[in-house]
Amino acid sequence: MADPMKIRAAMAGDKVEVKVLMSHEMETGQRKDSKGATIPAWFIQNVTATHNGKTVLSAEWGPAVSKNPFLSFRFAGGKPGDKVVITWTDNKGDKRTDEATVA
Amino acid sequence: MNTSRRKVLKGGGGAAVLGLAMVAGLFRSPGAWAADWNKAAFDTKSLADAVKAMGGVNPVESKDIVITSPDIAENGAVVPFTIASKVPKTESMALLVEKNPNILAANFAIPDGTEPWVNTRVKMGQTSNVIALVKADGKFYYASKEVKVTLGGCGG
């Protein structure tokens, strides 16, 4: 199981600004190890963010997203105390869900 | 009659079926995990092909899309980008790096109520044009910007 995400959600004007830092290798599949063998690609493919059960962002990622990915976005209709839930799935089927409370 | 032979045959048949099931399991495509991941789009090498794989044609250049990033990235492994769209009815926004092995880096679906604004970090193999591709009201729009990379992030 991968390490937990760091999620911050705070009001920015009338919107909720969410910042997420995920812990993932994001191996491209382009690199080779010391023996010259290609290191297989290993990266987050899908990210979904929900607020009160409604999807507020969904993303498809390729291996070009940086290691330990950072993501920030803003949505309307949230208020302090609300929960924001973020889930990612990688190309090996590993999954991680974490949540944060809007500050 | 030799009943033990019968048993062995039966048992052998069962094991074979089990073996087949295991092989089928092992060879399941890795893509099966993420059914909503557009593999065709992530395999493309050019803007035109990426747009095609997303079901569109002829993206139009737009001044309503803004890419914010450093002009010179010292480390290609981590280049921060903010893409924002003022195109009405923006449905999705993608970030593409022209000279990466595959052009599409990330694609974000923007539902109603979410600002067409995302900030993320991507890898760049070398100095390249970076394209923000926006789908709005079924049509595709784009903006591009050159980012110089002094140390690539895809080699090794």
Tell me the pLDDT tens digit for each residue of B29-41: 444 444 589 999 9
Strand positions, DSSP E, chain A:
6-12, 15-21, 44-51, 54-61, 70-76, 83-90, 95-101
Mean confidence (pLDDT) of chain A: 95
A73 contacts B36? CB cut-off 8 A: no
**The residue type at B113:** G
> How distant, in Å, are the alpha carbons of A26, A37, A63, B78 from that of A40?
10, 9, 11, 20
Top residue of A39, A44, A61, A96 to mutate, by most chain B CBs within 10 Å, is A61
Residue B36's pLDDT is 82
The residue ranges of every structural domain in chain A are 6-28+41-101
Closest among A5, A86, A91 to A44, alpha carbons compared: A91
Mean confidence (pLDDT) of chain B: 84
Residue B6's pLDDT is 59
By a Cβ cutoff of 8 Å, what residues of chain A touch chain B?
A: 15, 28, 30-32, 39, 45-46, 54-67, 69-77, 89, 91-93
Nearest residue of B to residue A36 by CA position?
A: B156
pLDDT digits (tens, 9 = 90+) for B95-148: 999 999 999 999 999 999 999 999 999 999 999 999 999 999 999 999 999 999
**The residue type at A80:** P
Domain A6-28+41-101 indexed as CATH 3.30.70.1290:
no
Q: Does the structure show a pLDDT above 70 at B1?
A: no
pLDDT digits (tens, 9 = 90+) for A5-63: 999 999 999 999 999 999 999 999 999 999 999 999 999 999 999 999 999 999 999 99
B97 contacts A65? CB cut-off 8 A: no
By Cβ distance, the residue of A31, A66, A75 closest to B114 is A75
Residues A22/A5, Cβ–Cβ less than 8 Å = yes
Share of chain B above pLDDT 70, in %: 74
3-state secondary structure of A7: strand
CA distance A62 to chain B (A): 5
A62 contacts B106? CB cut-off 8 A: yes
Residue B23's pLDDT is 45
By Cβ distance, the residue of A45, A56, A91 closest to B114 is A56
pLDDT: is B34 or B58 the higher one? Answer: B58
The DSSP bridge partners found for residue B133 are: B94, B142
Q: Residue B154 region, left (φ>0) first, then alpha (ψ -120 to 50), else beta?
A: alpha
Q: What is the mean pLDDT of residues B56-67?
A: 96
Nearest residue of A to residue B93 by CA position?
A: A59
Q: Does the structure show a pLDDT above 50 at A86?
A: yes
Residue B153's pLDDT is 63
By a Cβ cutoff of 8 Å, what residues of chain B touch chain A?
A: 30-31, 33-34, 36-38, 41-42, 77-80, 97, 100-102, 104-111, 113-115, 117-124, 153-156
pLDDT: is B26 or A87 the higher one? Answer: A87
Contacts of B147 in chain A (CB under 8 A): none
Top residue of A11, A15, A45, A96 to mutate, by most chain B CBs within 10 Å, is A45
